[in-house]
Amino acid sequence: MEKSVVKFSHCNKDIFCFFVPEECPECGHSFSGQRLEEAPVSIPNPFSNGHKSPCSFLVAPTDENKLREFDGGSGDLHTGITNTKGVVFNYTKSGVRRDYQGWERCISVPLVQPDMYNLLDQWDPYLEKFSATPMWDPIWQSFNEETHNCYNYTLMFINCVLATQGKRALSKDEFTKGFVLPRVKRASKYTTLCREISQNHFYITDSPPKETKETAAYGDVET
């Protein structure tokens, strides 16, 4: 099981760690017998098991550096769509694959609200039908790193679903900037945080001023 990251504040620093220590690593002040001014908060883990996220869009980092550099343009990340049973449909050079495992640690974005019964009912047939179109058949059209890849497959499916809901299609840029990039950045920061804590027990940043605390929940992790 993955360790979870907690954050507490002391001497104007935000201190990230796996366990709150007995004393402040910055000033040495002992916490035993007394409380911190503010309770430690846990930092939500941005990764989840894709096979347990039905009807979702998934992003699986191939490795950490690629996660950091991801701009939506290349095939650095692999993306897929789950059916109602957690099978991951994803487009590769050999066509659409159905993965029953291998997506246990990824970023998952639910695409259907639990009360959208019609869509839930139709989800699996939609996904099957969409995946069976000649466009994703390597005999008819071949995979292209830039223009016809797993990312295009997932985006096009999402747009088909939006169309059935009478909603406007997302451009690749809108999808990347509004939908994918913020989550990928968050996951990348979290990974950096975990690596720093594993190496040094703590990751310490200056506490942002009170009023901006909400927006800067992670502190300045990027270096």
Q: What is the Cα 101 distance to its own chain's centre?
A: 18
- C-alpha torsion sign, points 44, 48, 54, 58: positive
- CA dist list (Å): 45 to 2, 5, 185: 9, 8, 13
d(CA 37, CA 60): 38
Q: Is 7 in the site for Zn ion (CB under 5 A)?
A: no
- The footprint of Zn ion on this chain (CB under 5 A) covers a number of residues equal to 6
Residues 6+ apart with CB under 8 A from 162: 168, 169, 170
Question: What is the closest distance, in whole angstroms, from the C-beta atom of residue 1 to Zn ion in the complex?
Answer: 30
Our CB check for Zn ion shows the closer of 7 and 78 to be 7
Question: What is the closest distance, in whole angstroms, from the C-beta atom of residue 181 to Zn ion in the complex?
Answer: 35
Our CB check for Zn ion shows the closer of 27 and 139 to be 27
Our CB check for Zn ion shows the closer of 12 and 101 to be 12
Question: What is the closest distance, in whole angstroms, from the C-beta atom of residue 12 to Zn ion in the complex?
Answer: 8
Our CB check for Zn ion shows the closer of 1 and 27 to be 27
d(CA 25, CA 21): 8
Question: What is the closest distance, in whole angstroms, from the C-beta atom of residue 11 to Zn ion in the complex?
Answer: 3
Site for Zn ion in 101-130 (CB under 5 A): none
d(CA 25, CA 153): 48
Question: What is the closest distance, in whole angstroms, from the C-beta atom of residue 72 to Zn ion in the complex?
Answer: 41
Site for Zn ion in 10-69 (CB under 5 A): 10-11, 24, 26-27, 29
Residues that bind Zn ion in the complex, under the rule CB under 5 A? 10-11, 24, 26-27, 29
